[in-house]
Structure 1
Amino acid sequence: MTELAILLGLAAAGYGLSRWTQFPAIPFLLAGSLGLSAIGAVGDPAFVEDVLFLSVSVLLFVAGTDLSLTRVGPFRRTAFLIGAVQFAGLAAAALGIAFGLDYSPTDALHLGLALAASSTIVGVHLLQRRQQMFEPFGRTVLGALLLQDILLVLLLPLLIRLPDGAAAVMGSLGGTIVLIVGVGVVMKGLVPVLLERELDAETQLLVVLGVLFGFMEAAAWLNVPLFAAAFLAGVSLSGFPFSGIAHSEMQPLYDFFSAIFFASLGVAAARPDPTLIGHAALFAGAVLVLTPLIVAIVGEWMGLVARSALESGLLLAQTSELSLVVGLQALVAGQIGGEVFSVIVLTTVFTMMATPLLTSETVVWELVRWHPSRRPAPLPEVPSNHVLVLGGGRSARPLLRLLRESDHETVVVDEDPTVVDRLRDRGVRCVCGDGRDRSVLLEAGGAQARVVVSLLRDPRSVGPLLDYVGDTVPILVRVFEDHEAAWVEAQGGTPVRFAQAAGDAFMDWFQQTRSTAQDEPMSPSP
């Protein structure tokens, strides 16, 4: 009980720091558990091992319910290519670094596999907090995470069975394939039946736990690691709307076991010394540098704009909680030592701590400015009596189409060089730069415009423009919240509420469609 009390105390402290600093709790819990390992506060390794395997089963089960192909939508091909290239590239880089540091082939293989995937928990958490789950790059990130998790689930059983020979490896692969077939059976057979029945909350929880235990029992019979079964059980319930039911019923258990898992994980690692910390820093640096680079290149090649591709790479630039499972499984199997496991844990701590900082708005745009895309010559002269549009992304397409059809001269200001290049290729006059920069507004003819339309993410970004043009040019600003509209009005601009504009556009379309249908002559009945 003493060990449990210590772990619970660490969990409470870690989540308190997380709420105070707005960082994910995982790095704090891992760092604290490494501290417990260093002072030897928890001395029962058997207890820690039992806690870890029970906790990871619940964690992976709930994480699996968040990963559905339907959420990826039309970005499936882009997401899977990004996930595969990143997985292979980071695995190769980690192998190279490990061999360069004189790790054994077995240690290098586990390090390569552990560092190849990104964290589903961190990625989903950041997307949900920023309300970006259903943006194109958000769906791309989810698809890449799904693919990488499945690759780890497939490859780790093979790596664990590798010392036992080819027959054991093939048996493990066959067992995993059977479980994947079971995912399809539950998705297509069981879940539709459950949705037809109005089950109470207690019965729903029992059904969810029954699916989890059923997969784990099958895994024990097929000699497949239990963590793989737990994850695949979650994926089998990831379809809408049953995933919401499963997630809500398991959320209290998830919160508890998440805290216990990460608070106890570092206890199983060796005490970190300067050498191990240096190795972990080197691996973490490779993850933080190579991941955004690989994802940005592949993402743009597949059609993402520069900002979305780069932001996707930054969101994926950390090692996965499944990486910790890779290390834990190998440690228990005796294939790696506590030192290698400690490097994996430290690398996860370093990268998870860095991700919230790297994905901030300031860092993302600063990196976009270094984009090597071509930047054609500036406008030959300052335009006048034109429509100035700030922001040329997806949301600007309907407006630009209408402006082109009405023969209004248009100039677009956008900071993303890929967006600017695409618009210029379509004949749209553009200025590549920050719409908050007065020199950019001067080049785009902000004070000489007929009207300015701002589609920037943050409505407050038009503050410098409002100060620059004063009351001489009407400025329309897209807003999402009432307090944003009030601020724009106080500054002299005209807010356009996104929800209201979308509703008006829909009603116009509906009225036009209904009028057309009423005017069409009805065909005589046979």
Structure 2
Amino acid sequence: MHNLVLTELLVIFSLSVAVVMLCHRFRVAPIIGFLITGVVAGPHGLSLVSSIKEVDLLAEIGVMLLLFTIGLELSLSKLMEMKHAVFIGGGLQFTMTTMIAGGIAWNLAIPSNQAIFIGFLVTLSSTAIVLKVLQQRGETGATHGRASMGILIFQDLIVVPMLLLMPLLAGTAAHPLQELGLFLFKSTIIGLVLWFVARRFIATMLFRIVRQRDSELFLLSVIVIGLGIAWLTALAGLSLALGAFLAGLIISESEFSHQAFSAILPFRDIFTSLFFVSVGMLLDASFLWDNLTEIIIVAIVVIVIKTFLTFGSAIFTRAGFAASFAVGLCLAQVGEFSFVLAKAGIAEGLLSPTSYQFFLAVSILTMAMTPSLVERSGRWGRTLAQLRIFRRLAIGRSPVDPTRKRLTNHLVIVGLGENGQNAKQLAHRHNIPYVILETNPETVRRELASGAHIQFGDATQPAVLQHAGIMNAKTMLITIPDAAATRNIVATVRHMNTDLLIVARSNFVTEVTELESLGANHVVSLQLEASVALCHKVFGAFNLPPSTLAQDMDDVRFNRILHHTL
């Protein structure tokens, strides 16, 4: 049995590699690749996988990790900074889309509870696809990118309440109002307990764990916290998904959230890929072919409705016309959390097998169109804004930054030793914006208390670098003594930002060439610079002419002294 599951996982991942590579070649989102993998390997395809229950179990872990990382990326302070885009833009988009989509379904003689559920499915957009495309295009900091992020955050927040409403919509709850009140009471009590008790305990525990400088121990501790809180919420009769989200939200309030996010990210990606594969296994390719015309029509209708409703919501975030229209196009697809809701809806009887097949086909088609829509969103928005009929709407106020005070053209300092401290002080003196990445928790706490712009995180991790604004930075200074880590950082950063000026420290002369080949613009060797300083002091005592001494030091620095001697 175990060998069968292992063999089928090997089949799934091997097929996923091939399909996702093809998707990249044709500029299709990787999520579509995982869905196609499920279609091919599933019972409606080549029937390569029979351990459906085992795959579903791993997929459920993926959903928990997805919600856990969403909680990690959020915090109450961040939500307050983004409140306009999140609660006004996101709230309007959710309300209007649910009402319009549900109203259309109700007019088609679909029962009201199922119509509301269809509205839930349609309103959600794909956080994974949209953010990936915006990051690839370098538009996460653009006006439409920031507004899109705000609305997506609200959608991610509203998923958990929607999941908890499934029994009420399905009518499987014996006493709906009583159960709803009980749910609200439990959620409030658990939330308060976790917030005022577990938050402080967990922050202290993580601080002591990080002091051990053991990455495996830190990762295990984060997993234990996530699973433990999810287990507690399940014992209280609430969902595992809610517990995973709360666990992430609690850790997000500590200074270790960025490192926790980067540590858990590979596991999230692996397990969520299995979730999308498991969804694809349920899609019947013959149904798609037999109903292709209707599916295409409905997909276009969904895109048009979501574009204009989301556009209207973004306008209320005080974005201009062009940016708001771009937001509408960016969020016009059906999202990955709609698959989570749909699977719950089948279990509760809110979706028939035929309706589910139709929903899957429409969702996959809207997702496949997303990269093309995002690519054209800004240009189409600007073109429409020039038309006289829209010109008055186009004169919108520039929106407030919904994410946080963004750093641009700033300095990223890796490591806060003597060299890092000197760079920080000079940045202060000359009013140069900076952010420091440091892995010593005591240093981070001390510097945060003094008002320094510092984050706890391993700079070899792309997620940590993104939080430090590496895509918008002007210069990076790497001061850490670890040669292997420095090589990894230089290679990762150069891949993420080809225009960044990277200045790195090396201990030995032999490390300079490799760091330069990896992408460092300037490498300062401590061994070489010490030799230059020593020689300068010694031979300066012999009253050599300054020009001759300077030429000698250049010869030492560039290793020409041996050739001149010989």
Fold conserved between structures, TM > 0.5 = yes
Task: State the shift of 1:183 in Å.
Answer: 5.9
Identity rate, percent: 24
Inter-CA distance 480–285: structure 2 relative to 1 (3 Å threshold)? same
C-alpha separation in 2, matches of 1:290 and 1:363 = 16
Match 1:184 to one of 181, 195, 219: 195
Other structure's SS at 1:163 match: coil
Stretch deviating more after TM superposition (129-138 or 248-257): 129-138
Cα deviation digits, residues 4-31 of structure 1 (max 9, x gap): 3332233222321233234321122213
Correspondence list, 1:422-433, <5 A: none
CA shift, 1:261, in A, is 1.4
Question: Matched residues in 1 for 2:19 and 2:198: separation?
Answer: 36
- Tell me the amino acid that sits aligned with residue 349 of structure 1: I
- Counterpart mapping for 1:443-454 below 5 A: none
Q: Which residue in 2 is equivalent to 1:261?
A: 275
Asked if 1:214 corresponds to 2:228, the answer is yes
**Counterpart residue identity of residue 216, structure 2:** E
Distance in structure 2 (CA, Å) of the matches to 1:186 and 1:130: 42
Counterpart of 1:141 in structure 2 is 148
With over 3 angstroms needed to count, the CA separation of the structure-2 counterparts of 1:221 and 1:283, relative to structure 1, is farther
2:35 is the counterpart of 1:21:
no
Give the direction of change, closer, same or farther, for the CA distance of 1:332–1:188 in structure 2 (3 Å limit): same
* Residue pairs, 1:234-313, within 5 angstroms: 234-239=248-253, 241-269=255-283, 272-273=287-288, 277=292, 280-313=295-328
Note if contact 2:346-2:353 (Cα within 8 Å) is conserved in structure 1: yes
Structure 2, unaligned runs of 5 or more = 399-471, 476-498, 502-566
Using the size of structure 1 for normalisation, the TM-score is: 0.65
CA gap 1:270/1:22 in 2 versus in 1, 3 angstroms: closer
Distance 1:296 1:373, change over 3 A: farther
Question: Is the 8 Å Cα contact of residues 75 and 139 (structure 1) preserved in structure 2?
Answer: no
Q: Is the 8 A contact 2:199 2:251 kept in 1?
A: no
Question: What is the match of residue 336 of structure 2?
Answer: 321
1:435-483 Cα deviation digits (max 9, x unpaired): xxxxxxxxxxxxxxxxxxxxxxxxxxxxxxxxxxxxxxxxxxxx9999x
Question: Counterpart of 1:388?
Answer: none
**Change in CA separation of 1:259 and 1:334 when aligned onto 2, cut-off 3 Å:** same
Q: Displacement, 1:341?
A: 2.5
Q: 1:39 aligns with which of 38, 45, 52?
A: 45
Distance 1:89 1:418, change over 3 A: closer
Aligned residue number for residue 9 of structure 2: 4
Q: 1:83 aligns with which of 66, 72, 90?
A: 90
The correspondence of residues 89-488 of structure 1 with structure 2, limited to 5 A, is 89-161=96-168, 162-164=171-173, 165-166=175-176, 167-181=178-192, 184-185=195-196, 188-190=199-201, 192-194=203-205, 196-197=207-208, 198-199=211-212, 200-239=214-253, 241-269=255-283, 272-273=287-288, 277=292, 280-360=295-375, 362-371=376-385, 374=388
Q: For each residue in 1:320-356, what CA deviation from the matched residue of structure 2 results, as whole angstroms up to 9, or x when unmatched?
A: 2211111112223444333233233223212221111
Output the amino acid matched with 2:337: L
1:97-125 deviation digits (Å, cap 9, x = unpaired): 33344444443332221221222222322
Q: Cα distance 1:309–1:318, how it changes in 2: closer, same or farther (>3 A)?
A: same
**RMSD across aligned C-alpha pairs, in angstroms?**
3.4
* 2: CA distance, partners of 1:480 / 1:171: 49
Give distance in 2, aligned partners of 1:480 and 1:206: 32
CA distance 1:344–1:6, change in 2 (3 Å): farther
Distance change >3 Å, CA 201–CA 481, structure 1 → 2: closer
Cα 1:21–1:185 shift into 2, 3 Å? farther
- Residue pair 2:321, 2:381 contacting (<8 A) in 1 also: no
Q: 1:254 to 1:329 in 2, by over 3 A?
A: same
Q: Which residue is equivalent to 1:457?
A: none
Letter in structure 2 aligned against 1:204: F
Q: State the TM-score, normalized to the length of structure 2.
A: 0.61
**Distance (Å, rounded) in 2 between the aligned partners of 1:373 and 1:114:** 34
Q: Structure 1 regions of 5+ residues with no counterpart?
A: 377-415, 424-478, 483-496, 500-526
Residue 146 of structure 1 and its aligned partner are, at CA, apart by 1.9
1:213: how far off?
A: 0.9
Greater shift, 304-313 or 327-336, is seen at 327-336
C-alpha separation in 2, matches of 1:420 and 1:330: 43
State the Cα deviation string for residues 363-402 of structure 1 (Å, max 9, x = none).
Answer: 43134322376489xxxxxxxxxxxxxxxxxxxxxxxxxx
After TM superposition, give the deviation of residue 292 of structure 1 in Å. 2.6
Query: Cα–Cα, structure 1 residues 279 and 218, in superposed 2: closer, same or farther, change >3 Å?
Result: farther
Conserved in 2, the CA contact under 8 Å of 1:11 and 1:260? Answer: no
Q: CA deviation at 1:276?
A: 5.7
Whether the 8 Å contact between 1:83 and 1:147 is mirrored in structure 2 is yes
The CA distance in 1 between the partners of 2:322 and 2:500, in whole Å, is: 22
The 8 Å contact of residues 63 and 120 in structure 1, kept in 2 or not, is answered as: no
Q: How many correspondences in the alignment?
A: 390
Q: For the residues of structure 1 that align with 2:396 and 2:354, how far apart are their CA atoms?
A: 49
Match of 1:505 in 2: none
Q: Assess, with a 3 A threshold, how the Cα gap between structure 1 residues 33 and 240 changes in structure 2: closer, same or farther.
A: same
| Separation in 2, partners of 1:123, 1:186 | 36
Contact kept in structure 1, 2:322 and 2:384, CA below 8 Å: no
